[in-house]
Each structure stands twice: as structure tokens, then as C-alpha cells.
A = this chain, B = another copy of it.
Amino acid sequence: MFPPHPTELLHVLLESEIVTGDFAIDATAGNGHDTVFLARAVGATGRVVAIDIQQQALASTAVRLESEGLRERVMLHCGCHSDLAEIAGSDRPRAIVFNLGYLPGGDHDLITQTENTLKALSAASDILMPRGVLAVVCYPGHIGGDEEAAAVEVFITSLKAQRTARYSMILRDKTTPFLLLSKKSG
């Protein structure tokens, strides 16, 4: 698809940052789309932690990973992404990916909460390795989504990052998702 959806662009750009043997975190596993990408990117010697608050999401992610032969590289964790630092342990990840909003095909009332998201982003920024990548796909346009997207953008922009970028589709209704990418200082 051209221009790519923000999640597609995320994969295209992260591909060249993650190297074999890396540790990466999918902070919002959802249906496992990003988890599968990360599991492939870190290679057979790398590992991924995928977090979701919904068992249903982790079950979908597990099925997807199995079918791709990637299940062994991923630890699935049911919990809130604001506990990211505790869940990750002492290893420093190369990349942490967030895909906010509700689970596609799931309960639309179960959305990421701004306060938890900011706590999770702050933890993510702390535990990333130097020059690690924090990537967030935001979904304004659902109830609570506008507020969360705006707060996330303010937060990411406030980080003392090496470089930060923003990518969005332009649609007339302005409820299009956007991607924020931030590379931690070295």
C-alpha cells in the first residue's frame, strides 16, 4: 500500500534498526501483528516480550506466532503495560512498540487509558538501551483516543531524544492513526 499505513511504515523503518540477537518489547500485543514482526526481526537468538491486558489478545498472538514458527522467541505476559519495567526485567530492549486504542475485533470499551499509557511510555523510555527506539501508533477518533493521542504526542516530543519523527495518513475526517518514532540519545 502506498503511502503505507503507519503500522506498515513502522515495520519498514524498524527493520534496519533491530539486529539478530536483540531483545524487543511489544507493549500492546493486540492481535500479534507487531509481535510477529519483532519476533522475526530479532532472529533465532533474539527474544521478545509481548504484553496485553486481555487474555483474548494473547491467545490470538500465540496462534499467530505458532503458525509462523516464532512462538519460542516470545514470552507472552498478561498485565498492564504500565508495569513494563517490572515485566521486562534487567535486559535493555533495542525497541519498544505501542499500538494504542482497542483490540481489533475485541471489546471497544476496553481501550488503553491515558494515565497508564504515559506511565508505560515513561518506563519504556527509561529501560530502552542507548539509541534504542520507542515507537507508538496512536488512534485519535474513538472516545478517549483524541485525548490519549494528544498526551502521547506531548510526551514523546518532550523526551531528550536523538531524533523524533511523526508520520500520518491525511484523511478528510482527521481521525487517521499516526506514528511517533523516537530514537533515544546514545
Contacts and interface: CB of A to CB of B under 8 A. Distances in A.
Interface of A: 1-4, 12-13, 16-17, 133, 156-157, 163-172, 180-181, 183
A165 B157 contact: no
Chain A's interface: helix, strand, loop or mixed, by majority?
Answer: mixed
Contact of A2 (B4, B16, B167, B171): B16
Contacts of A133: 2
B183 A170 contact: no
A1 B171 CA distance: 28
A166 B176 CA distance: 11
A163 B1 CA distance: 9
18 contacts: A1-B163, A2-B13, A2-B16, A2-B17, A2-B163, A3-B13, A3-B164, A3-B181, A4-B13, A4-B165, A12-B12, A12-B13, A156-B170, A165-B167, A165-B170, A166-B167, A166-B170, A167-B167
A171 B164 CA distance: 7
Contact of A3 (B4, B169, B170, B183): B183
A2 to B, nearest CB: 5
A73 to B, nearest CB: 23
A52 to B, nearest CB: 26
